[in-house]
Structure 1
Amino acid sequence: MPLYTLITQDGVLSSEAKATLAAELTHLHSEYSGVPKNWVHVVFQEYAPGNGFTAGEAAATAALTLLIRTGRTADYKRGLLQRLWTLFQRATGAPDDQIVIGIQEVPPSQAMEMGQIMPDVVGE
């Protein structure tokens, strides 16, 4: 179920950098949450220079959104956000003011994977 969507300006991440970051995110999420690696999905999207802004000024803003099932504690999510920030900033080289990371949650009963309704989150 975890779906990572990463948005960067075109050219910020090479194909090799994307593959490395996808592997790092997959490993992190699998280890941190205990879900199988084949449940972790990573999608990259890029935008043309001049189409990203921070504080109203053109910038190579980088965004990472994670879609997960509801049921994790606030401490779990804070810890995950901190680890994601480190990985994403290292990969993009973006300064703090040009990175945005967010977690979105969906009830397991409203998500499917591999043809099955997702199970509830079990323990931390």
Structure 2
Amino acid sequence: MPLYMVTTQAGILGLEAKADLAAALTRFHSGYAGVPEDWVQVVFQDYPPGNAFSAGKPSATAALTLLIRTGRSPEYKRGLVTQLWQLLQSATGAPDDRIVIGVQEVPPSQTMEMGQIMPEVAG
């Protein structure tokens, strides 16, 4: 179920860098959440230069949005975003003021993968 959307300016991440980041996110999330690697999905979106802004000025912002099932503690999610920050920063070389990470949650009953309604998060 975890769905990672990684958005960067075109040219920041080449094909090999995307594959490396996807593999790192998959390994990390599988180990951190205790879910099978084949549950982890990573999608990259590139935008042309001049199409992202910070403080109203053009910026090569790197963004990561993660969609997960509800049921995790605030401590779990803080640890999650802290590790994700490091992975994204390492892959993109972006400074702290050009990285944005957000976690969105959805009830398991409203998610399907591999033809199955997703189970509740285990204790």
RMSD: 0.4
Post-superposition offset of 1:67: 0.1
Post-superposition offset of 1:17: 0.3
- Asked if residue 64 in structure 1 is aligned to residue 64 in structure 2, the reply is yes
Amino acid at match of 2:105: E
Amino acid at match of 1:25: L
> In percent, how many aligned pairs have the same letter?
70
Amino acid at match of 1:8: T
Post-superposition offset of 1:36: 0.1
Report the Cα distance in structure 2 between the residues aligned to 1:49 and 1:4, rounded to whole angstroms: 22
Match of 2:40 in 1: 40
**Matched residue of 1:94: which SS?**
coil
Report the Cα distance in structure 1 between the residues aligned to 2:99 and 2:23, rounded to whole angstroms: 20
Aligned ranges for residues 1-124 of structure 1 at < 5 Å? 1-123=1-123
What is the TM-score of this pair, normalised by structure 1?
0.98
Post-superposition offset of 1:35: 0.3
Post-superposition offset of 1:49: 0.3
Post-superposition offset of 1:23: 0.2
- Structure 1 unpaired stretches of 5+: none
Report the Cα distance in structure 1 between the residues aligned to 2:80 and 2:61, rounded to whole angstroms: 21
Post-superposition offset of 1:27: 0.2
- Structure 2 unpaired stretches of 5+: none
Amino acid at match of 1:116: Q
Report the Cα distance in structure 1 between the residues aligned to 2:114 and 2:59, rounded to whole angstroms: 38
Post-superposition offset of 1:83: 0.2
Post-superposition offset of 1:100: 0.4
1:14-70 deviation digits (Å, cap 9, x = unpaired): 100000000000000000000000000000000000001111111101100000000
- Report how many residues are paired: 123
Runs of 4+ with deviation above 4 angstroms: none
Amino acid at match of 2:3: L
